[in-house]
Amino acid sequence: MFTGIIEAVGRIDAAKPAAGGVRLVVDAGALALDDVKLGDSIAVNGVCLTVVALKGKQLEFDVSRETLARAAGFSDGKAVNLEKALRLADRLGGHLVSGHVDGAGSVVRFDPVGDNRRLVIEAPEEIAKYIARKGSVALDGVSLTVNTVDRLQFDVNLIPHTLAATTFHALTVGMPINIEVDMLARYAERLAEFKDKYRWQ
């Protein structure tokens, strides 16, 4: 479990084909690794991955075909947002993020609004229905609040701190971006599917 508050920006040093998917080698950048051990979970651009090797500032992860089919941004040299898993004593500064990416959207607009940026994303149809105005969404692992929704598109506001502390300063129109919807929306849909089947007799 994560909060969507990015701790550091790293870089993918290698993405090597492996049995069942890809082996990622990630330079952790400024991420503190003194408390990281094999088997720990780290969100890489919003995707919860398990540390399978640790060599100095390099972390290695195995990424499955299922994850590769849903998520974007696992290519050599790409900058990635990093966050270590939430501890029970940590403050929940963003929202509860599982690290289970629902799919990749695309950047439609990235417009300056004073010192901020208005980011407009188009989501795949199958997950757009879960995105609500003033609801929470994680984009490349970053916890954000949805401002407006228009069919498949929605927009968020990026303040200067977010732009400086994440990979978002380098976004351009057409780039893919990982989307994780608020987990409450998924549970609400599942409950709704059963509301008629399990009515009190």
Separation CA 39–CA 115 (nearest Å): 40
Q: Tens of pLDDT along 148-193?
A: 999 999 999 999 999 999 999 999 999 999 999 988 888 888 787 7
Q: Which residue has the higher pLDDT, 85 or 73?
A: 85
Q: Residue 198: what pLDDT?
A: 61
- Angstrom distance (rounded) from CA 40 to CA 95: 20
The CA distance from 76 to 65, in Å, is 17
| CB-CB neighbours of 169 under 10 Å | 15
- The pLDDT score that the predictor gives to residue 190 is 78
Predicted confidence at residue 199, as pLDDT, reads 60
Structural domains in the chain?
A: 8-84 (2.40.30.20), 103-190 (2.40.30.20)
Answer whether 51's CB lies under 8 Å from 37's CB: yes
pLDDT tens digits, 35-79: 999 999 999 999 999 999 999 999 999 999 999 999 998 999 999
Confidence of residue 196 (pLDDT cuts 50, 70, 90): low
Residue pair 103/114 in contact (Cβ under 8 Å)? The answer is no
| Count of other CB atoms within 10 angstroms of residue 14 | 14
Q: Look at residues 103, 106, 11, 25 and name the one whose alpha carbon lies nearest to residue 62.
A: 25
Measure the CA–CA gap between 104 and 139, rounded to whole angstroms. Answer: 9
pLDDT in tens, 91-147: 777 788 999 999 999 999 999 999 999 999 999 999 999 999 999 999 999 999 999
